Chains A and B, each alone.
Chain A
Amino acid sequence: MPSLAIIISFSVFSSSTLASNPPPSKGDVLPKINLPIPKNPAEKAYLGLPGVGTFRIPQIKAKVVILEVFSMYCPYCQKDAPRINEMYQVIENNPDLKNKIKIIGIGAGNSPFEVEVFKKTYRVPFPLFADKDFSIHKLLGEVRTPYFVATKINDDGTHQIVHSQLGDFQGAEPFLELILKASGLK
């Protein structure tokens, strides 16, 4: 019988540790996510990424990157889309914030076609990436959507997550205020 207990506890331990990552939270580093460098020149310039191939979020030319994990099938992501766009405009229209804060979205379980539908429907001005097979979603702890992660990128290339939240988008100005304080940009 002791052998049964060992087997069961090993199984529980291994499944709980390997089944999925914990959701990203303050103080953590981002999981290693490879994203394709956008082909669209405007999006490529926005992210400050040269060349072709893949990149990782801390390579984006910014002080802070706000990542939204969304899905075109998620009602709250749909409802919040205009307000996230507004946040982009607030950043881009403010010389103190432009080039310092960038926004990207990752469509959990969405194909490139589905991401494009979302982008077109809501006229999303920042780059969106597909995660058709949920592999990135899994690395991000299978969070519910929308999920926001703000990451501070340091001058030496290191990075830390300074804020994460599930849903409850406060609106452009309050959310930005929160990110500015959490990242030390203000």
Chain B
Amino acid sequence: MQKKRLPNLIMITGVLSVFSFIPVTYSISEAFKENIYKVGILKPNDSVLKVKVGDRAPEFTLPAVSGEKISLKQYQGKKNVVLSFVPAAWTPVCSDQWPGYNIVKDIFGQNDAILLGITVDNIPTLFAWTNQMGKLWFPVLSDFWPHGAVAKKYGVLRSNGVSERALFIIDKKGIVRYIDIHDINKRPLLEDLVNQLEKLKK
């Protein structure tokens, strides 16, 4: 027994030290001070997608931080819709994703698109968190109750109850045109989203 323990320990230690050398793939804005909870490196994806490109996007209605209720169908025939699911408020990568979208309203506008930010957090948490980002031009929706119901409908609810870091582009006809279920530990590149939005014009 004693003989077996040492190789096991060496293996565990080896694995742990490899993890400790993994570079962070995010920066944290000083806007959030010391309030960002470090989640460590997570399993990149942990859900089974339920929609595919070409499908009709599942309908939903969710409460927004602003107090209104937002339905996907209200944009049908009017705007392309980008759904940005982020895993959770007050976590590293999520906190530095939407503030970037906040300075590219013009790019969304040029592509006749609206952005809807969604997390499974409740409204008070989202209110406090998004207040640190400055005034956001796009609605932030709470998929808190029934917990993660919309994330589940799209197949992006992870086994621990948070959503994937996922982007969906839905065209004016309500059809899914692009899906990026991103590695939860990394922020999607802005140019990838912009290139896909520009494809809608063609």
User: Which residues of A does B touch, CB under 8 Å?
Assistant: 3-4, 7-8, 11, 14-15, 18-20, 69, 71-79, 108-109, 111, 113-114, 117-118, 121, 134-135, 137-138, 142-147, 166-168
The residues of A that contact B13 with a CB separation of less than 8 Å are 7-8, 11
Interface residues of B (CB under 8 A from A): 6, 9-10, 13, 16-17, 20-21, 23-31, 96-97, 99-100, 102-104, 107, 132-134, 187, 189-191, 194
Complex contact B104–A7 (CB within 8 A): no
Q: Tell me which of A8, A19, A75, A135 has the highest count of chain B C-beta atoms within 10 A of its own C-beta.
A: A75
Bound Cα distance from A69 to B29, whole angstroms: 10
CB of B31 within 8 A of CB of A75, answer yes
Assess A75 versus B134: contact at CB under 8 Å? Given A114-B190, A114-B191. yes
Complex Cα spacing A75 to B31, Å: 6
CA–CA, A113 to B100, complex, Å?
A: 12
Bound-state Cα–Cα, A135 to B23, Å: 8
Shortest Cβ distance from residue B40 to the other chain A in the assembled complex, whole angstroms? 13
Inter-subunit contact B25/A109 (CB<8 Å): yes
Question: With A18-B21, A74-B99, A118-B103 in contact, do A113 and B189 touch (Cβ < 8 Å)?
Answer: yes
Set of chain A residues within 8 Å of B189, measured between Cβ atoms: 111, 113-114
Q: Chain A residues with Cβ under 8 A from B24's Cβ?
A: 20, 134, 138, 142
8 additional A-B pairs beyond A19-B21, A69-B27, A75-B134, beta carbons within 8 Å, are: A11-B13, A75-B31, A79-B134, A111-B190, A114-B189, A144-B28, A144-B29, A144-B30
- Sorted from nearest, which 7 A-B pairs have the closest CB atoms? A15-B20, A167-B30, A74-B29, A73-B100, A113-B191, A108-B27, A73-B96
A-side contacts of B30, CB under 8 Å: 74, 76, 144-147, 166-168
Q: List 26 A-B contacts (CB under 8 A).
A: A14-B17, A15-B16, A15-B20, A18-B21, A73-B187, A74-B27, A74-B96, A74-B99, A75-B31, A75-B99, A75-B133, A78-B102, A79-B134, A109-B26, A109-B187, A111-B189, A117-B103, A118-B103, A121-B103, A137-B27, A138-B23, A144-B27, A144-B28, A145-B30, A167-B30, A168-B30
Smallest CB-CB separation from A107: which chain B residue? B27
Q: Is the CB of B190 within 8 A of A113?
A: yes
Contacts of A111 in B (CB 8 A): 189-191
